[in-house]
């Protein structure tokens, strides 16, 4: 008799735990069966780790809970709050986001001359008038800036230098167009040549200073030789603008000055503001030094100009003052009680209050 056949009819006894093993037999064949980590007590895990040769410190760190405790979170919140408060106190926004100084507006001889308005102009019979009329038509009516500039250049090329003053309105419009086009090199060259003939002309001084300041502002780093060169040029421009300002003041004393008082005052204000910017540039080239450094005199001269009667209500002068004050705060030693600004001892807190007051005045003026 075949024993295998007989055994096939005999029921096989099974242990109750075999059912669980049988259900997962396919998965166990691939990855095996591992108990959950919670089924091993901490003491047993420690002994296993020690047998494997783990360091005792590593074992203790591994057994610590992964989640941060309440005290850990509280310490982190306190540290973050203290750090934020220190940043707000010692590094206010105005230190990094300084206002950009604006101009009082580009110097101009006025709006475009059209066919309708030319009959009202007394100098329409002048030889340069037709040229100005065509330049204004190209620029203001047709928006052809490049063609207007070329027309002005071709017209001025044939005018003798002795007649430049008579053709000054063509020069003025030409510089205005060069400034609008951002052609700084040509603007500087053209105004410099004009100043050699008429050194006290306010328009030429203004546009020459504007071209110099704009070109210098685009330079990100200066060598010591460059600093010396730009400093000397800034000083020369300031001296020349002093002469132009004195000439304007003399014109205001003329009996017919009341008729053009507003225009003369605007020219004077524009020249003063450019002078203040030049002084700030000289202070910048020296590294925005403070305290007893000789360059502080340039900073104070710029502030004195901003505080002058002529610029008392100027938004541009107030913006420049905010920028100067922000640079002073940048170099202020944390534990230094006060500094001398414009001959007066001033505390850091007072300077910060002045900045806030100036900003409020600017907002009020814009309403």
Look at residue 21 in the predicted model and tell me its pLDDT.
42
Look at residue 15 in the predicted model and tell me its pLDDT.
47
Look at residue 28 in the predicted model and tell me its pLDDT.
44
Q: Which of 270, 273, 265 is nearest to 321 (CA)?
A: 273
Higher-confidence residue: 111 or 172? 172
How far is it, in rounded angstroms, from Cα 171 to Cα 177? 10
3-state helix, strand, coil in the chain (%, to 5): 70, 0, 30
* Residue 103 confidence class, pLDDT cut points 50, 70, 90: low
Higher-confidence residue: 167 or 46? 167
Higher-confidence residue: 123 or 234? 234
Look at residue 14 in the predicted model and tell me its pLDDT.
47
Structure tokens at 261: 């008082």
> Are 169 and 109 a contacting pair, CB within 8 Å?
yes
Tell me the average pLDDT across 134-162.
Answer: 94
Q: Which of 329, 360, 349, 314 is nearest to 97 (CA)?
A: 329
Stretch among 312-316, 324-328, 333-337 having the lowest mean pLDDT:
333-337
| Burial (CB count <10 Å: 0-12, 13-18, 19+), residue 103 | middle
pTM: 0.71
Give residues with Cβ within 8 angstroms of 298, minimum separation 6. Answer: 279, 280, 282, 283, 286
Asked whether the predicted pLDDT for residue 61 surpasses 80, the reply is no
Asked whether the predicted pLDDT for residue 227 surpasses 70, the reply is yes
Look at residue 84 in the predicted model and tell me its pLDDT.
83
How far is it, in rounded angstroms, from Cα 94 to Cα 220? 21
* Residue 323 confidence class, pLDDT cut points 50, 70, 90: very high
Write the DSSP assignment of 218-247 as a string of letters.
Answer: T-----HHHHHHHHHHHHHHHHHHHHHHHH
Asked whether the predicted pLDDT for residue 105 surpasses 90, the reply is no
Tell me the average pLDDT across 140-145.
Answer: 92
Tell me the average pLDDT across 274-302.
Answer: 94
Asked whether the predicted pLDDT for residue 108 surpasses 90, the reply is no
> Are 267 and 205 a contacting pair, CB within 8 Å?
no
Asked whether the predicted pLDDT for residue 147 surpasses 90, the reply is yes
| Burial (CB count <10 Å: 0-12, 13-18, 19+), residue 277 | buried
* Residue 117 confidence class, pLDDT cut points 50, 70, 90: low
Asked whether the predicted pLDDT for residue 4 surpasses 60, the reply is no
The H or E element containing residue 316 is helix 315-330
Look at residue 22 in the predicted model and tell me its pLDDT.
47
Look at residue 46 in the predicted model and tell me its pLDDT.
76
């Amino acid at each position: 008799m075949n024993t295998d056949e007989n055994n096939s009819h005999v029921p096989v006894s099974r242990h109750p735990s075999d059912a669980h093993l049988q259900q997962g037999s396919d998965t166990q064949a691939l990855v095996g069966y591992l108990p959950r980590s919670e089924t091993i007590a901490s003491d047993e895990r420690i002994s296993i780790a020690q047998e494997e040769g783990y360091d005792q410190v590593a074992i203790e760190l591994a057994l610590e809970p992964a989640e941060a405790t309440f005290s850990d979170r509280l310490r982190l919140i306190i540290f973050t709050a203290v750090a934020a408060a220190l940043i707000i106190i010692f590094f206010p926004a105005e230190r990094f986001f300084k206002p950009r100084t604006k101009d009082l507006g580009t110097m101009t001889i006025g709006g475009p001359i059209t066919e309708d308005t030319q009959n009202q102009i007394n100098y329409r019979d002048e030889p340069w008038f037709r040229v100005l009329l065509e330049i204004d038509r190209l620029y203001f009516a047709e928006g052809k800036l490049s063609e207007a500039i070329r027309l002005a250049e071709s017209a001025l090329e044939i005018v003798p230098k002795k007649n430049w003053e008579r053709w000054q309105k063509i020069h003025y419009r030409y510089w205005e167009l060069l400034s609008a086009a951002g052609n700084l090199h040509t603007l500087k060259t053209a105004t410099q040549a004009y100043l050699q003939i008429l050194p006290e002309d306010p328009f030429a001084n203004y546009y020459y200073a504007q071209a110099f300041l704009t070109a210098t502002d685009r330079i990100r780093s200066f060598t010591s030789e460059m600093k010396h060169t730009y400093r000397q040029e800034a000083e020369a421009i300031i001296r020349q603008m002093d002469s132009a300002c004195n000439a304007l003041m003399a014109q205001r004393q003329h009996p017919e000055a009341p008729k053009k008082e507003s225009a003369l005052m605007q020219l004077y204000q524009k020249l003063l503001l450019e002078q203040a910017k030049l002084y700030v540039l000289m202070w910048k080239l020296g590294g925005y030094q403070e305290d007893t450094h000789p360059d502080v005199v340039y900073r104070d001269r710029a502030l004195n100009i901003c505080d002058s009667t002529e610029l008392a209500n100027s938004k541009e002068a107030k913006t420049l003052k905010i920028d100067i004050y922000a640079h002073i705060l940048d170099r202020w030693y944390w534990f230094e009680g006060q500094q001398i600004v414009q001959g007066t001892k001033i505390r850091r807190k007072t300077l910060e209050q002045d900045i806030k007051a100036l900003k409020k005045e600017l907002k009020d003026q814009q309403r």
